[in-house]
Amino acid sequence: MKMTHRICRPTWPYAKMAVRRACRRGARFLLYRIAFLVLAILTSAAAESFEIRGRVVDAETNAPVPVVNVFLANTTLGAATDEQGFFTIRRIPLGSYDLFINHIGYALRVVRIDLFGKQRQPLDIRLDPAVLQGERIEVTVRDRIHWRRSLETFEREFIGTSRNAKSCRLINPQSLEFSEDRDGTLRASSDSVLIVLNESLGYRIEIILKSFSYQEKDMNYLIYPRFEELDHADPAVRTRWIRNRNETWEGSLRHFLSVLARDQFRSGLFEVYYGYLHPETGQIRSYGIPVKSKRPSFVQDEPIPELKRIRFDAFLVVLYKDYTKMHGSVPHGDLGRFPTSYLEMKVPTATINIHGNVQPYNAFKVYGAWAAHRIADLLPLDYDPGQD
């Protein structure tokens, strides 16, 4: 019995007209539903992004400063001021950022920006003239030899030695200055913006280097990078960049924090243990009992759904169970089965979001597999593996 066929071909009087009216009503209802769904999607997307507007002027003359580089550190997001000093940065994901305002002849300005729930008022930014540098000291041949050796150490520790690092290079190393403390600590500084070209991930990175120190495998640095996506005419190259970015993301610290913030811990990608510092060996060891709950007790809700608060004592021992996708070295820990990373909390509490970003920036110290990641493995804060 073909009821569908019979409905499509009615025989009673005026039935065809009735069916057409019903179809039109149904079509309008379907159209309303589709329109409502699209509106809901757009509203949801709009609720998750923000924009920053403002004006940059000279602090002494109040004159507008054009062509000022204004960017959110650690992202691809930025703009240049127009002739009247105005700028706008759009499509900013929810979160906390450092807004950098940089121009030749003026002192660097940094503004802390928190984007949660409502748009900010336009910013009024005043730049102070830069203090002129003194005369440069002549460099001897001996100094050049020491500088070159220091550069080799810096590039190894700063750029890294992973697969990504093989296609990543520092464009302007001549802008670096090195010094060495009495205890052998190597320090690096630069008055210029460092330029790094990462042809593995497809980024050009401008880096403001605030500090760098290295001694016997203990390396610390504070940087403010701006990412710019490279372009290439060959689709195969662009596809390779996307693949390498995804592989760099998988198993990373940000991937782990994103899993926690999204309440996806039971996906099984990561296995977590509480850890302690062994009193005799000085090594981090696990207690041997994995965290099995749907949400670990060290993760708590925040009023904003996209955020979570994280707090733990001593250490977390984190195993990534799909280690074949990890770039770089993958050291194993005392559990021995998978690449192992160790997370030490350096502040009382921290906030993480669904993109795997953490505030404050120095909330953790990492060891093991994650410690092998360097600038060559760095992804911008606005990177989303689902949108690439």
Average pLDDT over residues 104-124: 88
pLDDT for residue 5: 33
Residue 4 pLDDT class (50, 70, 90 cuts): very low
Q: How many domains are contained in the chain?
A: 3
Average pLDDT over residues 293-304: 92
Are residues 34 and 12 both part of a single domain? yes
Domain finish residue from 16, 31, 47: 47
pLDDT tens, position by position, 81-110:
999 999 999 999 888 899 999 998 999 999
Are residues 335 and 310 both part of a single domain? yes
pLDDT for residue 121: 87
How remote is the C-alpha of 128 from its chain's centroid?
Answer: 30
Contacts of 103 (CB under 8 A, 6+ apart): 56, 65, 67, 68, 69, 127
Are residues 12 and 91 both part of a single domain? no
Check if the beta carbon of residue 346 is closer than 8 Å to that of residue 358: no
Domain finish residue from 127, 144, 174: 127
Mean pLDDT (the chain) is: 84
Are residues 18 and 122 both part of a single domain? no
Are residues 322 and 362 both part of a single domain? yes
pLDDT tops 70 at residue 334: no
Q: How would you class 124 by CB atoms within 10 Å of its CB: exposed for 0-12, middle for 13-18, buried for 19 or more?
A: exposed
Q: Indicate whether 241 belongs to any domain.
A: no
pLDDT tens, position by position, 178-230:
999 999 999 999 989 999 999 999 999 999 999 999 998 789 999 999 999 99
Are residues 291 and 320 both part of a single domain? yes
Are residues 320 and 353 both part of a single domain? yes
Tokens of 143: 């100094």
pLDDT tops 60 at residue 15: no
Are residues 279 and 345 both part of a single domain? yes
Q: Using the 8-state DSSP alphabet, how is residue 126 labeled?
A: E
Distance in angstroms (rounded) separating the CA atoms of residues 354 and 340: 22
Are residues 261 and 310 both part of a single domain? yes
Are residues 9 and 120 both part of a single domain? no
- Cβ-based neighbour number of residue 212 at 10 Å: 20
Task: Give the predicted TM-score (pTM) of the model.
Answer: 0.78
Range of the domain at 368: 253-372
Are residues 355 and 269 both part of a single domain? yes
pLDDT for residue 243: 96
- Rounded to whole angstroms, what are the CA distances from 368 to 166, 282, 316, 319? 21, 14, 12, 10
SS3 233: coil
Q: Indicate whether 303 belongs to any domain.
A: yes
Whether the ω angle into residue 66 lies within 30 degrees of 0, i.e. cis, is no
Contacts of 315 (CB under 8 A, 6+ apart): 274, 275, 276, 277, 284, 342, 343, 344
- Rounded to whole angstroms, what are the CA distances from 65 to 9, 12, 98, 125, 242? 73, 78, 20, 10, 37
Distance in angstroms (rounded) separating the CA atoms of residues 218 and 194: 22
